[in-house]
Amino acid sequence: MEEYKIEMKINGERLVATTQADESLLKFLRRNGFFEVKCGCEKGECGTCTVILQGKAVKSCITLALQANNKEVWTIRGMEKFELGRKLQESFVQYGAIQCGFCTPGMILVAKAYLDKNPIPDRKEIKREIAGNLCRCTGYKKIIDAIYAVAEENKKMN
């Protein structure tokens, strides 16, 4: 099997590693110890493996590792480096948006990418935006609460 050397910046740190042509970014990341990227279905149908690639949320199970070559990837472990990331983490904790926690990394990342683009969404918009990330525990209410609280704070600061 042919190996390809790739390089990416993950959470601000350079990683050089090898991959194979058909390896997903999800598998690549987990194989390199980024276990915080969760695997729920490997078909793009659950959103647990969401990462931020070049500023956009993507499902890493339906992205080739090679497609992230020379790019910037952020996982939940890198969110502490952003004010918005920290606020979202804090808010998820505070509002009880976390139960089993398996969807949490994906949820926070999709919320981060979205609020970067649209800092003051309403609840309906938040609900629409997280529709690619399944959660089996919370019924979504408290996740929406948590993201909305950050949006409200953004509103106050504007």
Partner 1 sequence: MKQIKYISPRTKEEALEVLQQEKDRACIVAGCSNVLPNLKDKKIAPQILVDITTLESLKGIFKKEGKILLGPLTTINELISSKIILEEYPVLTQAAREFADPIVRNTATVGGNLVTASPAADLAVPLLSLDAIVKIESLGDKREVNLINFFTAPGETILNSHELVVGIEFKQSDINKNGCFMKIGQRKAMAISIATLAVNLDWKENTINQIRIAAGSVAPTPLRLTGVEEFLKNKKLNQELIEEAVIKVSKEVNPISDIRASEGYRRYISGILFKRAIERLAN
Partner 2 sequence: MSQLKIIGKPISRDDAWAKAKGELKYADDFSLPGMLYGKVLHSKYPAAKIISINTEKAKQFSGVRAVLTAGDVPHNETVTRFGQSSEVGKGFEGLYRVLADKKVRFMGEAIALLAADTEEIAEEAINLIEVEYEPLPGVFDPVEAMQPGAYLVGEVDSNIIAQFGCAQGDIERGFKEADIIIEDTYKVPFVDHAYLETESGIAWIDENSVINIRVGSQVIEHFRDVADVLGLPHNRVRYRGTMMGGGFGGKEDITVETYLALLTWKTKKPVRLVYSREESILCHSKRHPFIMHYKVGAKKDGKLVALEAELISDAGAYPYLSPWVNLYATVNAAGPYCIPHIKVNTYCVLTNNTFTSANRGFGAPQPNMAYESIMDELAHQLSINPLEIRRINCLTTGKALSTTGQTFKTYVALPEVAEKAWEALGNPTRIKDKYKKVGQGLAIGLMSYGRMTFLHDSSRCYVRLESDGSILIRSGIPDLGGGQVSILCQIVAEELGVPMSKINIYYSDTALTPLAGTTTATRQTYMSGNAALKAAREIKKRLIYKAAQMMNVHTDNLDIGEEKIIVKYKPSQYLPLIEAIKACNADGIELFCEAQFNGPFTMTPDLSNIRGMIFPDFTFGAQAVEIAVDIETGEVEVLKLVTCYDVGKAINPLSVEGQMEGGSIYGLGYALMEEVIIKDGVTLTPSFSEYIIPTSADVPEAKAILVESGGGLGPYGAKGIGEPACSIIAPAILNAIYNAVGVRIKSLPATPEKIIRTLKGQFN
Q: Which residues of this protein are in contact with partner 1, per CB under 8 A?
A: 1-2, 4, 20-22, 24, 42-45, 47, 50, 56-59, 61-64, 66-67, 110, 114, 128-133
Contacts of residue 85, defined as CB under 8 A and 6 or more positions apart, other chains included, come to 78, 79, 108, 112
Total H helices, total E strands in the chain? 5, 5
- For residues 105 and 158, which CB has a smaller minimum distance to partner 2 in the complex? 105
**Could you tell me how many residues make up the chain?**
158
- For residues 93 and 136, which CB has a smaller minimum distance to partner 1 in the complex? 136
- For residues 57 and 79, which CB has a smaller minimum distance to partner 2 in the complex? 79
Phi-psi map region of 138: left, alpha, beta (phi>0 left; psi -120 to 50 alpha): alpha
Q: List binders of partner 2 among 76-105 (CB under 8 A).
A: 76-77, 79-80, 89-90, 92-96, 98-105
What are residue 13's phi and psi, to 5 degrees? Answer: -115, 140
Helix (H, G, I), strand (E, B) or coil at 116: helix
Helix (H, G, I), strand (E, B) or coil at 150: helix
Contact string 31-70 vs partner 2 (x = CB under 8 A): ----xx-xxxxxx-xx-x----------------------
77 binds, among partner 2, partner 1, none (CB under 5 to 8 A by kind): partner 2
- Which one, of 22, 70, 79, lies nearest residue 50 by Cα? 79
Residues in touch with partner 2 (CB under 8 A)? 1, 35-36, 38-43, 45-46, 48, 75-77, 79-80, 89-90, 92-96, 98-105, 108, 123, 127-128, 130-144
